[in-house]
Amino acid sequence: MTMMQMNVQGGWPQKTAKSLLGVVIAATVTACASHGGQREQAYTARELNEQLVMSTLWMQSAAEYQALSYQAFNMAKLRLDQAMKDRKQGDKPLAVVVDCDETVIDNSAFEAYLVGHDAEYSSALWGQWVNDAQAKALPGATSFLNYAQRHGVEVFYITNRKQAELAPTMQNLAQLGFPYVDTRHVMMRTDTSDKQPRRDQVLQDHNVVLYMGDNLADFDSGYDAPEATTRQQHVKEQQALFGERFIMLPNPAYGGWEGALYEGDYSLSPGEKDQRRKAALMPWQPANL
């Protein structure tokens, strides 16, 4: 029996029926608002991972991504050839320093795994991926680094993978045909993620011709700043070095640029990360809308 039927049949006075109806509506609105609040709080890693779809697809399927990788290593070869031509008797031996992940090896399969799963990056999950040693070589990377070796130029891999991941990292690099895969040339993270101490170590005995990376901190520790504007200003100050001494590889999936959106705080919840990302967008606003 509805409230209207009860009113007609004399079950409830009209005023009482209206009051009850108001209570029901208010309770419904409150419940919906409460549900909406829970929905916001329950924004999951799986939902956030949907934002990886386009960047990961681009890295795995776009010919443009391949072209940019070949372009980077072609440029690196030109710079190396010039350095070898300019080298004088008694100069320090030449070297090239490269990052590993998304610079010479491709981990996009790891990002692709996250899509559709309620999982975030973690040391444990990343460790599983590293131990599987399934990363592929970036287009042009193996050819260039072997070219360097044939011309007597040493290659140093300065990576922020953990020291405990040395063995599977070396296995992965070796099975892809990269040169200088040994404990002297593969330099893992130890007590700091700052790569400068390791770069300085190489510079003691070598003239480093090129640094290659997908993250600006692969070149200069000043890029570890947690603010996007600071990183952008540093790029302007060093603009002459890009293509000359610094060779950049594309990585739209992750990196210091993302951390700068969170002011370095990767512990933010998936919902907070989503808000930070969208707040950083600079949209066009049509005049008539």
In tens, the pLDDT along 54-83 reads 999 999 999 999 999 999 999 999 999 999
Pairing relation of β-strands 94-98 and 154-162? parallel
Mean pLDDT of 168-190: 97
- Give the whole-angstrom CA distance, residue 181 versus residue 174: 6
* Residue-level pLDDT at 45: 97
| pLDDT value at 22 more than 70 | no
Rounded to whole angstroms, how far apart are CA atoms 246 and 249? 10
H-state helical runs in the chain: 3-8, 14-41, 45-49, 53-61, 63-86, 108-114, 123-132, 141-150, 166-175, 196-203, 228-237, 256-261, 270-279
Question: Which architecture, in CATH terms, is 65-106+135-265?
Answer: 3-Layer(aba) Sandwich (3.40)
Indicate the helix (H) or strand (E) that contains 210. Answer: strand 207-213
Give pLDDT, residue 30. 47
Place of tokens 């990576």: 159
Summary mean pLDDT of the chain? 89
Instruction: Report whether pLDDT(20) > 70.
Output: no
For the cut 60, the answer to whether the pLDDT of residue 5 exceeds it is no
Cα 273 from Cα 49, distance rounded (Å): 11
pTM score:
0.85
pLDDT at 190: 87
Answer yes or no: is pLDDT of 18 > 70: no
pLDDT tens per residue, range 108-145: 999 999 999 999 999 999 999 999 999 999 999 999 99
E strand or H helix at 95: strand 94-98
Give residue limits of the domains in the chain.
65-106+135-265
